[in-house]
Chains A and B, each alone.
Chain A
Amino acid sequence: MAIYQKHIECMPRQEIKKLQSERLVWQVKRMYENVELFRQRMDEKGLKPEDIKGVEDLSKLPFSYKQDLRDYYPYGLFAVPMKEIKRVHASSGTTGKQIVVGYTQKDLEMWADCMARQISATGGDENSFVQISYGYGLFTGGLGAHDGATRIGATVIPTSSGNTQRQIQTMVDFGSTILCCTPSYAMYLGEAIEEMGVKDKLKLKAGIFGAEPWTEDMRAAIEEKLGIKAYDVYGLSEIMGPGVSYECEEQKGMHVNEDMFIPEIIDPDTGEVLPEGESGELVFTTITKEGFPLIRYRTRDICSLNYEQCKCGRTFVRMNKPTGRSDDMLIIRGVNVFPSQIEEVLLRIGGDVTPNYQIIVGRENNTDTLDVQVEMSDKIFADDVKSIELVERKIKDQIRSVLGLGAKVTLVAPKTIQRSEGKAKRVIDTRKLH
């Protein structure tokens, strides 16, 4: 498979480090001048831009968090005047209020390079027909993949998401060779293709799937159903969008575009950088981004980095597929519970229920107990006990159907859930005390 920018993607490690150092120094300086929140946090630590001389000083810098994007919504963290911002994207995330990111022309070019590297690594070039079945719009998936496919000179088929029958008809008639979408949609397409019995009419060779977690089992199923090689792509809109890291034909981890992003793995509890190869929270620093740069952004994704030279020839470090979030899994009465599942339940119940919750796990008579406290909001509050109990019942029923676990649900007064550094403490596990 061709390497799109060999001089960068296969750069010797020392040169990568040198390039990162130069770019980091530049970024810290301009952010200190232009981003109020960053300047405040530097000042709190008693740091001046001159204190940062290279990547070896990275760990001195303050972290940034998703909550920052909400606090400074919509444009408060941009580092250039709005006339330089050529596009914005937004994502609702899993916790309600949307976040906004902005790109300068140069940022858009760099992003296109990221995705072009990915498409090239899957065998794509100007002879490819790239069908983009990610949603187009504020979501970064559609336009991100689109710009990358355009950059590489492929024929772009911008189907966007939805209408499965027509997606498949287009795939057959237009001769799509590369498919970009979410892995769950790829599965769905694969099943529909089987039903329609058109697998042998497909010209598909590769698929680039991202924007949600998926397993190796799912990869095998997609590869089988679509008759392709399925590649994993990682990205998050806060950092860029799809293409922050990308898989090569080895399919053994995703190469991080280190000329633009510096990854670190930290202990999510202490914030300490972990030794090479250890698993922890992935943190990114964007060193080329002009419009909306971030320093040491806490992704909450848990993974590890592999600095071994890859067989494909690329020297960029590889990250493995994130195994979960840092606010991670609990085992309650033998059932795996992710706090984000509770969050989803609350969000799905709808507008009036706040996703401000806390999970308290304890143990009574050798049985785990699960208490879910949810902050009351003005909207839910009616002046009778019955309607409060009704809301509690609804949450309880939903938790039971999603997790298969009984929980005690209590509505509590607003702002009573403990917060640290602006982030709510989601889980209290008192079992650990015994």
Chain B
Amino acid sequence: MLIKQVSVFLENKSGKLSEIISILGENHIDISALSMADTADYGVLRLIVDNPEKAEKVLKQQEIIVKVTNVIGVAINDGPGDLAKILKILKDNSLSVEYMYACVGKIENSALVVMKNNDPEKALDILSKEHVPTFDVKDIYRV
């Protein structure tokens, strides 16, 4: 299943990150995973939440730049070489990984990784054919 990730443009001004988190909190939106990519001048905050549509709406109302993108969640066996194997499957199907980050979830003996591919639908399709377990938002613990 595709996961809708909410990305937010952040100017690196102190307080901006906590502002976003509190807007979501005030609107009872739960955050399951987050990651931050940043440079000296700005950052991109990526969030997995329980209600991405609502998150997009409330953030936009505050004139914050938001984009919802499709990502996939991959459960990686807690064993050596498993991530390498998955990456190879993707590469062999000309799928690239733009970025990925880990989160904490309920699937036993697995590390959960959120992954952005050039073609998320195709990636999901191929991984399921190769019996690589994927996960959904409800499988991730809240932050």
Contacts and interface: CB of A to CB of B under 8 A. Distances in A.
- A and B are partners in one complex rather than unrelated chains: yes
B50 interface: no
B64 A413 contact: yes
B65 A377 contact: yes
Contact of B67 (A382, A410, A411, A416): A382
A384 interface: yes
B65 A414 contact: yes
A376 B9 contact: yes
A415 B63 CA distance: 8
Given A383-B69, A413-B65, A388 B11 contact: no
B84 to A, nearest CB: 23
Nearest to B64: A413
Interface in B10-24: 10-11, 16
Contacts of B116: 383-384
Interface in A376-430: 376-378, 381-385, 388-389, 410-416
Given A376-B65, A413-B11, A384 B99 contact: yes
A374 to B, nearest CB: 12
A384 B9 contact: no
A366 B69 CA distance: 46
A385 B64 CA distance: 17
B42 A388 contact: yes
Contacts of A377: 65
Interface residues of A, number: 17
B5 to A, nearest CB: 7
Most buried by B among A389, A413, A414, A416: A413
Interface residues of B, number: 22
B67 A378 contact: yes
Contacts of B63: 413-415
A415 to B, nearest CB: 5
B39 interface: yes
Contacts of B99: 384
A381 B43 CA distance: 11
Contacts of B69: 383
Nearest to B60: A378
B118 to A, nearest CB: 11
B42 A410 contact: yes
Contact of B37 (A385, A410, A415): A385
B117 interface: no
Nearest to A375: B65
B130 interface: no
B31 to A, nearest CB: 16
A381 B45 CA distance: 12
A383 B41 contact: no
B47 to A, nearest CB: 10
Contact of A383 (B5, B16, B38, B64): B5
Contacts of B16: 413
A246 B38 CA distance: 56
B44 interface: yes
B98 interface: yes
Interface in A354-371: none
B11 to A, nearest CB: 5
Interface of A: 376-378, 381-385, 388-389, 410-416
Given A382-B67, A411-B41, 19 more contacts: A376-B9, A378-B66, A383-B46, A383-B67, A383-B69, A384-B37, A384-B44, A385-B37, A388-B9, A388-B42, A389-B39, A410-B42, A411-B42, A413-B9, A413-B11, A413-B16, A414-B63, A415-B63, A416-B11
Interface of B: 5, 7, 9-11, 16, 37-39, 41-42, 44, 46, 63-67, 69, 98-99, 116
18 contacts: A377-B65, A378-B67, A381-B9, A381-B66, A381-B67, A383-B5, A383-B67, A383-B116, A384-B37, A385-B39, A385-B44, A389-B39, A410-B42, A411-B42, A412-B11, A412-B42, A413-B10, A414-B65
Closest 3 CB pairs of A and B: A383-B7, A413-B11, A381-B65
